[in-house]
Structure 1
């Protein structure tokens, strides 16, 4: 079984679902040119969560990207107002609804990362249960502080749990790019692999998990979540989301955004490829 589906009624077809078996799905993120996390992708992920929660056979889901340079580049700041502030089952902003439901789902979620994963992209993979990345092709970062903002979609909640206070603060306030090896060292991801080994490892792990009993998988995930503190609640992340948008409205943040746009921000450009470097030049 290897069926592929998408959500054609969305403005853009940004998710491709490959059902390797009833128990193992792969979701490929595809929002050219640089895989921005905007209203189309977030709406698609919310529909996906409805489908995941209704399915009685799904055990494991792998997320990857159709763009080998960008897993998820970052939030589409120019279309941020289009993301509903109240949406879905949890009564919170749409992205917060998606990420919190994914984190607490009975399904095991795995991010297989190639390319840049910054800002909300990092927050997306942090909401997944496991994260594996290519040593040669994965780049991680949080751009928000460099833009006069703060991480607002879960990083301030998840990163301290994964990396500890000092490293989480370094990641956030440096607004720099980090290699997969450093991300592994910091606990941001589970493991980094040579690029040629990544797909084989993730596929084998997902297929192995899919062969185990549903009841055992769900009980184990739920118990480990509980023993580890359960992760942030939706209203904790919502507080950070509001702070993000409050900071975004400031003239200082708008001036930084204008500078970045002039440099090629949100375009397939050297600025996006080396965003950590360019953020460090904004104050010059």
Structure 2
């Protein structure tokens, strides 16, 4: 296990077995999103992406909550200065786009409340685990006359469909883990006591795979959703050819023929 330099107490991060682990570490503030927290996430992602041994990122929250949205003290202070408010909202967007654009798969383990900005973080990740009883997922903005500021109006309809998205945003109701799984917001529902272990085991499995292969699958799957099927298939054809000519495929096929586990560089 190796720990990179920390970027303050709002975020903890470490590398273990090829997995870059990020913990949102403001439990006394329900892990709400502050500038310090976003800076910490940026530092963690910088460290992970620069390390060829890291193949996947695992994100969770400290304490009993995953994340309940933006730090309202910081938002209220920024309301006095429009450029400062715009900078804060833009930082949220860039953090979430970082998860989506990263070559590393980002897995989220929702250990408690994931509300407002919390569900927005969750939606920007690639794979989601949730604790069976403790995870509660929803949007709270309409309750307080707010509009989602972290892409909620854009990602939620894409993931669950327009009517479900509007219902969730209009009513502020919370989904439990099982309902969130039915909606397609969660991939795996596990017992709360097993959440950390099972999500880490999943990530360790991904860490044994080709970093380049995982990155290509993520990039082109996401990019393909923004265009036509024909354009996506053309991109995939080029991708497959490049992959077949690369060293990871050579190692993978050699391992298959030798009936051994591949050892990707």
TM-score, structure 1 as length reference: 0.72
2:131 is the counterpart of 1:107? no
- Please state whether the residue corresponding to 1:75 is helix, strand or coil: coil
Aligned residues: 220
User: Which of 45, 68, 73 is matched with 2:68 structurally?
Assistant: 73
User: Which of 213, 219, 222 is matched with 1:222 structurally?
Assistant: 219
Aligned position for 2:128: 131
1:49/1:204 CA distance change after superposition, 3 Å: closer
1:61 is displaced (CA, Å) by 0.7
1:196 is displaced (CA, Å) by 3.3
Instruction: Out of 104-113 and 77-86, give the one that drifted further.
Output: 77-86
Aligned position for 2:180: 183
RMSD (Å) for aligned C-alpha atoms: 2.0
User: Which of 42, 46, 49 is matched with 2:42 structurally?
Assistant: 46
Where structure 1 has 5 or more consecutive residues not aligned to the other structure, the ranges are 231-284
1:229 is displaced (CA, Å) by 2.6
1:101/1:138 CA distance change after superposition, 3 Å: same
1:201/1:228 CA distance change after superposition, 3 Å: farther
The CA distance in 2 between the partners of 1:84 and 1:43, in whole Å, is 16
Aligned position for 2:153: 156
1:151/1:57 CA distance change after superposition, 3 Å: same
TM-score, structure 2 as length reference: 0.77
The CA distance in 1 between the partners of 2:146 and 2:200, in whole Å, is 37
Q: Give yes or no for contact 1:6–1:16 (8 Å, CA) kept in 2.
A: no
Deviation string for 1:10-66 (max 9, x for gaps)? 4xx111112113x21111111131211122111211222333343333210101122
Aligned position for 1:263: none
2:55 is the counterpart of 1:56? no
1:84/1:210 CA distance change after superposition, 3 Å: farther
1:197 is displaced (CA, Å) by 3.4
Q: Greater helix share, 1 or 2? A: 2
Deviation string for 1:118-168 (max 9, x for gaps)? 111111111111111001111111110110111121111111111111111
List structure 1 segments (4+ residues) > 6 angstroms apart after TM superposition: none
- Please state whether the residue corresponding to 1:74 is helix, strand or coil: coil
Q: Give yes or no for contact 2:96–2:124 (8 Å, CA) kept in 1.
A: yes
User: Which of 22, 31, 39 is matched with 1:27 structurally?
Assistant: 22
Instruction: Out of 162-171 and 186-195, give the one that drifted further.
Output: 186-195
The CA distance in 2 between the partners of 1:219 and 1:115, in whole Å, is 32
1:202 is displaced (CA, Å) by 1.2
The CA distance in 2 between the partners of 1:6 and 1:85, in whole Å, is 29
Q: Which has the larger radius of gyration?
A: 2
Aligned position for 1:198: 195
- Please state whether the residue corresponding to 2:31 is helix, strand or coil: coil
